[in-house]
Structure 1
Amino acid sequence: MRLTGTHIAYLHTCHRKLWLFAHGIQMEHTSDTVAEGKLIGETSYQDRARKYTELAIDGIKIDFYDAKNKVIHEVKKSDKVEHAHIAQVKYYLYILKKNGIDGATAIIEYPRMKQRETVEWEEGDEESVLRWVSEAEAILANESCPPLEKKSICKKCSYYDFCYAAEEMG
């Protein structure tokens, strides 16, 4: 299986969510939070589709890539799991670098918060990304789903009902 940016983000969010998503149990389509995030991405920068290109390469899909300036634009709803967003764009930068596109940067945009964060490729990032890939592959190779870890972000997660159904009945 080819890893995507979503896999890397989920690795940094919840191992259970990563495993479920990778094994075809995808709940994002049932989530109001995910729908709201998509709407923010689609309506916040309406001229982007004309200005930037979508780039699909080595299993990743970057929605807004400024090829002229080598800048990835990633739109997020909130900065609640900012470390996962940074890991996702670092993975994108790694894939670009691996395919001969050096010197790219990323901008993570949080339109509702009117904030932006620039992410650059730094010394040691390749080792980190390779470690993340290895960790994700190890989780996905397990035959059974990782156990539930109760986190503060669970209530907003698209997998909440799936993960907590047995708890609410018991």
Structure 2
Amino acid sequence: MRITGKHVNYYHICHRKLWLFHHGISFQQTHDNVADGSLLHLTSYPQRAARYREIQIDGIKIDFYDPQDRVIHEIKRSDKLEHASIAQLQYYLYVLERHGVSGPTGILEYPKLRQTQTVVLTDADRAAIPQWEAAIEQIVSSTECPPVINKPLCKQCSYYEFCYVGE
């Protein structure tokens, strides 16, 4: 199984969302937040396509990579789930290192907030990521969908109606 950045991101948000996504159950194309994020991605830094490269490796897709400085630029619409965004970027850095890129770094960018955050990979992260991978594989290989987590963040999720249809 190829683990993507979305797998890692969803693992840190909601195991149910991870399981549903992996099994091809998606409502993202009709959700306003997803559309807003896609538009933000296309319009925030229009000059990026000419300066940086898009790379795909081991199932991950990095939209903006600066090979000269070994920097990944990751755009997010909000910092509300920052821990998951950081984990996703750390996973990208981990995959690059696994393929021989020495000392890559990442920058999380929040254009709407006019903020950035530098992300690096520590030894603790390098030790934790294989555990994430194993947990992700265990969750998605299960025949049973994980339970609803029933947290405030659920109300903004594209799976909200699916998870709470009976309530």
State if a TM-score over 0.5 links the two structures: yes
Tell me the residue number matched to 2:40. Answer: 40
Tell me the residue number matched to 1:154. Answer: 154
Deviations 1:70-116 (A, max 9, x none): 00000000001000000000100010000001100000000000000
Tell me the residue number matched to 1:3. Answer: 3
Tell me the residue number matched to 1:115. Answer: 115
TM-score normalised over the length of structure 1: 0.97
Q: What is the aligned residue count? A: 167
* SS of the residue 1:113 aligns to: coil
TM-score normalised over the length of structure 2: 0.98
What CA distance in whole angstroms lies between the structure 1 residues aligned with 2:118 and 2:71? 10
Structure 2 regions of 5+ residues with no counterpart?
none
The alpha-carbon deviation at position 141 of structure 1 amounts to: 1.4
Tell me the residue number matched to 1:72. Answer: 72
The alpha-carbon deviation at position 129 of structure 1 amounts to: 0.6
Deviations 1:3-23 (A, max 9, x none): 100000000000000000000
Tell me the residue number matched to 2:22. Answer: 22
The alpha-carbon deviation at position 30 of structure 1 amounts to: 1.3
* Structure 2 residue 144 is matched with structure 1 residue 138: no
Deviations 1:131-167 (A, max 9, x none): 1101111111110100111111111111111111111
* SS of the residue 2:64 aligns to: strand
* SS of the residue 2:123 aligns to: coil
* SS of the residue 1:112 aligns to: coil
What CA distance in whole angstroms lies between the structure 1 residues aligned with 2:28 and 2:71? 27
Tell me the residue number matched to 1:165. Answer: 165
Identical pairs, percent: 53
Deviations 1:34-75 (A, max 9, x none): 000111111010000111000100100000000110000000
Name segments (4+ residues, structure 1) moved above 2 Å: none
